[in-house]
Chain A
Amino acid sequence: MRELAPYLAAGVAYIALGVAFPSLLLSWVEGVAFLLVAVWLLPALVRRLR
């Protein structure tokens, strides 16, 4: 569950942003970059700042 949570949060955020700005949904590169930021880079940054 601990591993699933960031993916679920990223999914909800991506869906909300995509509905508001549909052009975001058209780019695979942007979708993958969004996921990498949400589940890897951001948590890594938070851990470093703690």
Chain B
Amino acid sequence: MNTVSLLNAKPAPRRRDATKAYCQASAVLSIVIVSVILLTLLIQSLPVLLSGDNGLFGARWNPDEGKFGIIAPLFGSVFVMLIATIIAFPIGLLTAIYISETRSSKLRRVIKSILELLAGIPSIVYGLIGVAYLNVWVADLFDLQSGRIILTAGILLGIMILPTFLTLTEDALSAVPQRYRENAKSLGMYRHEVFKGIIFPQAKVGIAGAGLLALGRALGETMAVMLVIGSLDRLPSPLFNPLSSGQTITSKLGREVGESAFGSVHFSALVFMSFILVSITIALTILSHYFLTRKQADV
């Protein structure tokens, strides 16, 4: 709206009304799409929610005996996401700081375009590399029989979300106006003080947004994870053992949706899992919004 009103110095009510209506329609449409998706998922989940003795919140999955425990894939999804985060976020943040604060703008553009290229590689390619090399390396490193384990999936996901997180974080840092840095330096602050005291607080919201987008990708990634995680419907033992095979919600869906008949309780259980996945993503978004706006109000 702003650009439009700036371009038309004289008020041109009719055209502006049309633009406004278009924008509103788009906004309404996206809300409608999200609600329809959520509603569909919820309705399709009903058969399993109403089917009684199905062990929905247990760890046993055996459609033949009517056991649809979602705990193992749910745990797997969260666990893999955590590993990916632990790998990607520190590296991403430090690299972004290095690029934006210490390199010339020309070099920055070169590095960034390479990184954006990485973000554009289809996930199946990462999956194939994971199956061919990464899982063999991981197996050798830990002396395992197979590298198709939770850790491999986490590492692979970490590599996959790194470019997204890095490039958006770097955007957020570079968006802090140059004169802030100059002013701070002229006050005699050291470089690290400038970053800690001036740039980071300004870029914080952008970095959090980058983190969320990366988390979303980590949670939703299917193909690459499916190929390297081992597809074992069981909680690892001990629970936080990343060296055992596991299952995520997405890999479970990828493996089994083709096998379940539409409308069956089995299908419904799979839909319910995706409903939970979507709910987690939405909860993350709302939580971070709340958290960030409150923090900003404090400043």
A binds B: no
A contacts, CB < 8 Å to B: none
